[in-house]
Chains A and B, each alone.
Chain A
Amino acid sequence: MEIIAALGELGLGERLLTTPAALAAFSCDGLTAFTARPCAAVLAESTAEVVATVRACHATGTPFVARGSGTSLSGGSLPVAGGVLIALNRLNRVLSIDPESRTAVLEPGVINLDVSRAAAAHGLAYAPDPSSQSVCSIGGNLAFNSGGAHCLRHGMTANHILGMTVVLPDGELTTLGGPSREGLGPDWTGMFCGSEGLFGIAVEVTVSLIPIAEATATFLAAYDSLSAAGDAVSAIVAAGLLPVAMEIMDALAIEAAEASVKPRYPPAAALLIVELEGDRDTVAADTTALEALIAVSGAVSVTHTADPEERALIWKGRKSAFSAVGWLAPDYIVQDGVVPRTQLGRALAEVEALSAAAGIRVANVFHAGDGNLHPLILFDGAEAGALERAEQLAADILSMCVRLGGSITGEHGVGVEKRAHLPLMFSPDDLTLMGEIRRSVDPGELANRGKMLVPMAEGTAA
């Protein structure tokens, strides 16, 4: 093959992988329903190698997919069959931290949590905290504008990206944004961030850091219904409180977490996790206000803790919940729909009704403060037709989210998984325009082909 020969010239040695086993290992990400074999995988160790690989792909018209830790839940880092997979996980150095300007410069393969670990020495942290933060990498966070429990107050990944060096789909190396927020001209970083890799590969990322809060308190409130917990979230925000995180888990999600990391949650139909942070006085005042709000919200029980170990366990339970449903069913589909926060109670009731009507169990664990639902649709793939029924239920839930004024994805991205649902939100004209913008940067549609937008190569125009 032409591309293999071209990559062979790059002096990658054993880091150019073409054996069947190596390619099998890279054939899927965190969404195993989709698999594809690349023709080669490159374990890049420098920007120059990423540039050279992309140039080789461009010269031979070969599609390429960049991947960090391969944790995408939407198939965002699924290889293109016969394309090149560029693994960035070895580019995992924190290049610099500037405590004065509160910024860090990172390689794309740096694990999200490692940024906060490195910044901790300066009393700083990196705010966006996807549940997979112990594994997922900054490059993927940037490409998919990842969220996380604490994005309620701090904002998503895009709010923390200042600048980046990117390899465009033709192999050109360029810089977008810069070390500060003030820039002239179009917001190129804003366009690149969340574009699911369609404009190229970020090889160096400048992020902003936040000071570690002086005080933190985490509340666990148990409710006897999901909608009561959902209504409490609206009431807390309406009262003017802005917690850093507000999360809800239902009984099934709690059961999964207890089977897995045993966070010792109180038994409940719905559990609301609320976290406050700030200086000591603010947290003390907010604690009083929050306790009063929870007291009238119909909570069955409420506890709170400031103990770091207890808090870590609460969050470990929450952040392991997706994977932990592996205890409950052989297979699941995780959805990522968003509804306006005021519609939360109604949306949850509709999810319950849809689940009951379909006769399929759905576990709910979600970023309640953001109205970002994560229904986990449980099924057994060995059962005939089970996958199709689960997919139908997922589609019905997403339609409901859009109908209530929300969106089909909050943070996992469209990837391959939700591509078919994009017309729920965008007109054919919108999609055509998006395709044209994409092709103005990447005429051959080589970069992460097939994600988010239907490529020309698949027949119909996006």
Chain B
Amino acid sequence: MRHTIATDTLGPRGPALTAPIDACVHCGFCLPSCPTYVTLGEEMDSPRGRILLMKEVLEGTLELDSALPYLDNCLGCQACETACPSGVHYGELITGFRAHVEPVRRRPAAARLQRRLLLETLPFPRRFALAARLGRPARALAERLPSPLAAMLALIPDRLPPAAPLPARMPAQGPRRARVALLAGCAQQVLDPDINWAALRVLAANGIETVIPPGQACCGALAMHTGASERARPLARANLAAFPTDVDAIITTAAGCGSGMREYGLLLAGEPDAEAGAALAERVCDVATFLDRVGLIAPPPLPEPITVAYHDACHLAHAQRERTAPRRLLGAIDGLTLVEPAEWELCCGSAGTYNVEHPELARRLGARKAANLRATGAELIVTANIGCLTQIGLHLREAGVEMALLHTVQVLDRAYAHALKGAPPR
């Protein structure tokens, strides 16, 4: 699409902002894959519509304030990139645009408070666990609080599972086939610490040694994807300092973290450590991708057969283009039958902090996703992201459905331990 944006006035982020606008031909192939277009049915809430809005804001023909509600509605799921025949990097545009306009945008007080609370608690496991404990009694007051705060309280889990601290190193069992470093992550480590433990055990069972570098931080995705690059950069730099270069890969167990770390090059564009950021990004690999690449040592056959529905987390399927590895891993378990839910490409509505910032849209998407998963008749739902696990669990519960939910590595872990059946509902 032709435009009159002066790319060079946009600083180091310029090319990432204008290249997607150049590439978009406005064909509309993205429309059916966009969760907000499918839900709201209006052009402003579609990927190509938003591209038009961002183009006009950057050209100076449209007021930012007029465009913002629609741009804020975007989940950043990147399903449009999977659907796009023209190769438009929409994710880079929306992330870059949010960062570009953050310094000049104004938010109402309640939204400002919510944003601050989210960005100052979620990325820090200790603060998040404390906030969850403090917030729980406040849920009784939710009805009387401004809606952004009430939405946050609704997501606080009833209990936080006890967490044994992760070791500094998990040795490989048998001959060592690879050596990797694990990103422990933040929210997942509080909400479901078993996922990282399961990953460590599965990696070990596959002859992979894992180190968990001290001094690492949250990946920064949460901040990055909501326009707060100034908060994301220090986190990225902490990880640049913490992660060794002499490992075969940097492993992530949450799809959102993986996709966030893979954007370090863009996050640090124009900074002295841009190159180092891009180099680290290259080495980031989702745990399923890595296991599949190394070659999974098949777990023992299951004592009883089980039907599993795999839910594609957007930040793995769309942002990291990985749909085959998790299916191949699960398919390697003898006795496990994989079924596919309808509308796999549609986001569940979790999308980082989206379910807190846009509770109504997130609720509609969550209910739709839960219904699609329920319709598969599977006994167990498997996915690769803590946000999806929380969101889908919430909406299954709301629909009164008891279905178990696990991360891909938890399934493998239980299969190795002969304990796949009987996973408790989340």
Contact = CB atoms under 8 A, between A and B. Distances in A.
Given A326-B88, A327-B87, A330-B22, A24 B53 contact: yes
Given A25-B44, A135-B31, A323 B85 contact: yes
Contacts of B43: 22, 25-26, 41, 70, 87
A326 B23 contact: yes
Contacts of A39: none
B56 A326 contact: no
Interface string B155-168: 00000000000000
B29 interface: yes
A326 B28 contact: no
B85 A20 contact: no
Contact of B85 (A24, A32, A70, A320): A320
A324 B85 contact: yes
Interface stretch (B62-70, B204-212, B241-249, B297-305): B62-70
A71 B42 contact: no
A111 interface: yes
Contacts of A321: 85
Nearest to A326: B86
Nearest to A71: B28
B29 A135 contact: yes
A21 B28 contact: no
Contacts of B29: 132, 134-135, 320, 323
A65 to B, nearest CB: 13
Contacts of A20: 62-63, 66
Given A320-B85, A323-B85, A24 B28 contact: no
Contact of B28 (A27, A43, A92, A135): A135
B41 A111 contact: no
Given A22-B44, A260-B86, A30 B27 contact: yes
A87 B42 contact: yes
A30 B28 contact: yes
Interface in A137-172: none
Contacts of A323: 25, 27, 29, 84-86
B273 to A, nearest CB: 31
Contacts of B1: 32, 331
A331 B27 CA distance: 13
A422 interface: no
Contacts of A326: 23-25, 85-88
A288 interface: no
A326 B31 CA distance: 17
Contacts of A322: 25, 27, 85
B52 A43 contact: no
Contacts of A24: 52-53, 56, 61-62, 67
A70 B23 CA distance: 18
Given A21-B67, A70-B28, A135-B31, A327 B86 contact: yes
A69 B70 CA distance: 18
Which range contains the number of A residues in contact with the other chain?
Answer: 35 or more
B233 interface: no
B26 interface: yes
Given A87-B42, A322-B27, A25 B52 contact: yes
A28 interface: yes
Interface string A176-215: 0000000000000000000000000000000000000000
A17 to B, nearest CB: 8
A439 interface: no
A277 interface: no
Interface in B37-91: 41-44, 46, 49, 52-53, 56, 61-63, 66-67, 69-70, 84-88
A93 interface: no
B14 interface: no
A89 interface: yes
B2 interface: yes
Contact of B2 (A29, A32, A324): A32
A32 B26 contact: yes
A261 B29 CA distance: 13
B248 to A, nearest CB: 27
A382 interface: yes
Contacts of B56: 24
Most buried by B among A21, A90, A111, A326: A21
Interface in A14-55: 17, 19-22, 24-30, 32-33, 41, 43
A259 interface: yes
A19 B66 contact: yes
Given A71-B27, A326-B23, 17 more contacts: A20-B62, A25-B42, A25-B49, A29-B26, A30-B27, A30-B28, A33-B2, A43-B42, A69-B31, A70-B43, A71-B28, A87-B42, A260-B86, A260-B87, A321-B85, A330-B2, A331-B2
Interface of B: 1-2, 22-29, 31-32, 41-44, 46, 49, 52-53, 56, 61-63, 66-67, 69-70, 84-88
Interface of A: 17, 19-22, 24-30, 32-33, 41, 43, 69-71, 87, 89-90, 92, 111, 132, 134-136, 259-261, 320-327, 330-332, 381-382
15 contacts: A21-B67, A25-B44, A25-B46, A25-B52, A27-B52, A28-B52, A33-B2, A92-B41, A134-B29, A320-B85, A322-B27, A325-B86, A326-B86, A327-B23, A330-B2
